[in-house]
Amino acid sequence: MTNPDFLSAAQDLFPYTRDLRRDFHMHPELGFREVRTAGIVARELRALGLEVSTGVAETGVVALLEGAHPGPTVLVRFDMDALPVTEETGAPYASQTEGLMHACGHDGHTAIGLTVARMLHARRADLRGTVKFVFQPAEEGLGGAARMVAEGVLENPRPRHTLALHLWNSAPLGWLGVAPGPVMAAAEFFRLRLRGRGGHGAIPDAAADPIVAAAQVVSALQSVVSRNVPPRETAVVSVTHIRAGETFNVIPPDALLEGTIRTFQPEVRETVLRRFREVVEGVSAAMGCRAEIEFMDYTPAVVNDPAVTALVRQAAAKVLPESHVESEYATMGSEDMAFMMQEVPGCYFFVGSANPEKGLDAPHHHPRFDFDERVLPRAAALMAQAVWEVVG
Ligand code: NI
């Protein structure tokens, strides 16, 4: 079986990929509302003659491509949703919807996914196994992946492996992040209500001041990472929101604190959550207040399977040999692809997409986020080749 030249194929398809990407970019849609986007995805996949399911987790699209030869099923996932950000790029293809923007590159991911489908479809006579294309809604914190898992995306057929990618503006074009082990953090959000006793600002001894308690809690929480997490491990505890009180001369009855916790290792997560509770409850009690602690929206870490990761590196060496491959890359960001990957081993990799000379290096979720579109054929070729390696 000849090895396909996916980079040439992807470069030939560049106008197709770029036009799709710009069209998605001009018409961003929030999570679970990707109706127009999903319609285009389904249309393009059906045009290839694939078996397409729509309405999976509201607006998700799943398609199966059967190779001519027997082999395993591999699931490849692309996310489709935009963000509630007002675009400031000034690009000719800027968002036409006020207040919404593809500020994370998921427009590119969707266009890449359709390009991969076209390339692999063109080589199906040589393809082994089955490729399950998953176009996921609502990656940005609304739980699209977990919903797709609940609706059976990992069954019929059950994939043996999973693959996913992210265009990555923290790194230039030519860079690849392909690392085994944890590459994106487990994330959860917390909400604390410190219940004290309100009173007159001039008579603090008759009150239990939740603002003083909140200040002590925020300071004391800094010791969880610095004193309880082993120095060679990694964790983040960030308090990002505080609200208490209304005016000068009233001690309020309670304070609200919110924030996020990020970890890579389950043991570290357990330690951080345990110490978090102990510190919050203990310090609050010492300040005469009672703490109510709520944890929400847990997303597990994205943990790459070493064997699948080695195959993606092999794919990169074949199709993008001049790349700089970073093999220990990880970010404290999180990604709900973790819900699929904790069931089915796989590899999640990063494709450098920034070009500082052209000013295309704003970070993800920024109003001026945009990437060098030359990354599109590179990413599509790498994903197609990765599928080729994984189905063997
Ligand atoms: Ni993203």
Q: Residue 15 has which token pair? A: 């106008």
Residue 213 lies in a domain: yes
83 lies in the same domain as 29: yes
Residue 248 lies in a domain: yes
Task: Please enumerate in sequence order all residues whose Cβ is within 8 A of that of 221, keeping only pairs 6 or more positions apart, or say none.
Answer: 237, 239, 276, 279, 280
- Which CATH number covers residue 295? 3.30.70.360
Of 248, 265, 299, which marks where a domain is finished? Answer: 299
> Residue 306 is part of which domain span?
6-183+301-391
Residue 87 lies in a domain: yes
Of 278, 299, 320, which marks where a domain is finished? Answer: 299
283 lies in the same domain as 385: no
25 lies in the same domain as 15: yes
303-327 per-position pLDDT tens digit: 999 999 999 999 999 999 999 999 9
Residue 292 lies in a domain: yes
How remote is the CA of residue 150 from the centroid of ligand 1, in Å? Answer: 21
Tell me the C-alpha distance between 251 and 2, whole Å.
75
Q: Where does the chain have alpha helices with state H? A: 6-12, 14-26, 35-47, 106-122, 144-150, 210-223, 266-286, 306-319, 338-341, 375-391
| Predicted local confidence at residue 3, as pLDDT | 77
152 lies in the same domain as 198: no
Other CB atoms within 10 A of residue 93 CB: 18
162 lies in the same domain as 229: no
325 lies in the same domain as 194: no
Angle at 130 between CA 127 and CA 132, to 5 degrees: 125
56 lies in the same domain as 178: yes
How remote is the CA of residue 335 from the centroid of ligand 1, in Å? Answer: 7
Q: Is 2 helix (H, G, I), strand (E, B) or coil?
A: coil
Tell me the C-alpha distance between 261 and 246, whole Å.
28
- Which CATH number covers residue 340? 3.40.630.10
How remote is the CA of residue 106 from the centroid of ligand 1, in Å? Answer: 6
How remote is the CA of residue 205 from the centroid of ligand 1, in Å? Answer: 50
15 lies in the same domain as 113: yes
212 lies in the same domain as 171: no
How remote is the CA of residue 103 from the centroid of ligand 1, in Å? Answer: 8
Residue 376 lies in a domain: yes
Indicate yes or no: pTM above 0.75.
yes
Number of DSSP helices (H) and strands (E) in the chain, helices first: 10, 16
| Predicted local confidence at residue 392, as pLDDT | 87
Of 284, 299, 314, which marks where a domain is finished? Answer: 299
HSE (CB half, 13 Å, CA atoms) of 192?
Answer: 33
| Predicted local confidence at residue 1, as pLDDT | 55
284 lies in the same domain as 323: no
How remote is the CA of residue 78 from the centroid of ligand 1, in Å? Answer: 10
Q: Which residues in the chain land under pLDDT 70?
A: 1-2
351 lies in the same domain as 340: yes
Residue 137 lies in a domain: yes
Q: Total domain count for the chain?
A: 2
272-297 per-position pLDDT tens digit: 999 999 999 999 999 999 999 999 98
How remote is the CA of residue 143 from the centroid of ligand 1, in Å? Answer: 13
How remote is the CA of residue 308 from the centroid of ligand 1, in Å? Answer: 22
